[in-house]
Amino acid sequence: MAPTTRKIVCFSDFDGTIFMQDTGHILFDNIGCGEKRRQELDQQLKSGERSFREVSEEMWGSLHVPFEDGFKIMEKELEMDEGFREFYQFCVANGIEFNVISAGLKPILRRVLAGFLGKEEASRIGIVANDAEIEPDGSEWKPVWRDNTELGHDKALSVKEGRANAAAEDENGEIPLIIFIGDGVSDLPAAREADVLFARKGLRLEQYCIENKIPFTGFDSFSEIKKEVEAIMQEDQDKTGGVGTPARFNPRANMWRRVSSRQAVPKFVAATPSKEEKMFLWPEFSEYRPRNQENPSS
């Protein structure tokens, strides 16, 4: 595979995307407030009775165990996508910048990745997420929000920043190709800033894209994404764009195929979630699925 002439930056959601289960749900249900209370909080959020931050802080605040004890539970319950390691190694070999982008807590995501991939390999993965203050004895788990937005993390802004940084670093002044991989409607603001969108099959993001005719490529495994990205890299050797541009490209963001200078990048419209999208921001951005259980088809 000849390397692409344009820098590629990949952003991937974590819960329900790289891992089949939700890290937060595993912790809350097993050693925190419990599944029943979590579901009650979910309903309070959906009804508008309480805000995302209030609900989230209560869930995380229900944990009173040392961090490593929490990881031992996640290690038993979590299942990593069978093709992720291969895809990540492919990204490293081909100079593709890979980042995790999540509304979760960075220390948890970093520890889970290190546990499943090894510390050295995991340390090279960029993580764009909320932070956390966790007491050594586990007596307090407190989210540290990345920004002042409703979810504590504006994923769309993070993707825009990633694009701008990659463009600024490019010696030829070319804008990068942005790939986004996700599973839920809360991923939509960030996905709208991407040039290519991958949505896990059978979950809410795919359904939303189909209903609203948003260009995307469905996947069951990161192995399928690897093949698609290989094809994209080959297509990048011919930057004709315009007529014949593959359907997988987002027409709102795929200006990368028609311009060569970062000065020519249009100002994208801010991807603020609509009222409908907000209905699915939590907890349906990922679905808790016990290990070895088949993916739901709807």
- Residue numbers annotated as active site: 13, 15
Q: How far apart are the first and last CA of the chain?
A: 36
The angle formed by the CA atoms of residues 124, 129 and 17, to the nearest 5 degrees, is: 75
The tokens describing 62, both together, are 């229900």
Query: What is the identity of the amino acid at 291?
Result: R
- Give the distance, in angstroms, between the CA of residue 43 and the centroid of all CA atoms in the same chain: 24
Residue 235 burial (CB count, 10 A): 17
Burial of 47 per CB tally in 10 Å (0-12, 13-18, 19+): exposed
DSSP letter, residue 81: -
- Give the distance, in angstroms, between the CA of residue 48 and the centroid of all CA atoms in the same chain: 25
Question: Pick from 178, 174, 185: which is nearest to 265 by CA?
Answer: 174
- Pairing type for strands 126-134 and 141-144 reads antiparallel
144-151 long-range contacts (CB < 8 A, ≥24 apart) are 145/53, 150/51, 150/52, 150/53, 150/278, 150/281, 151/52, 151/103, 151/186, 151/281, 151/282
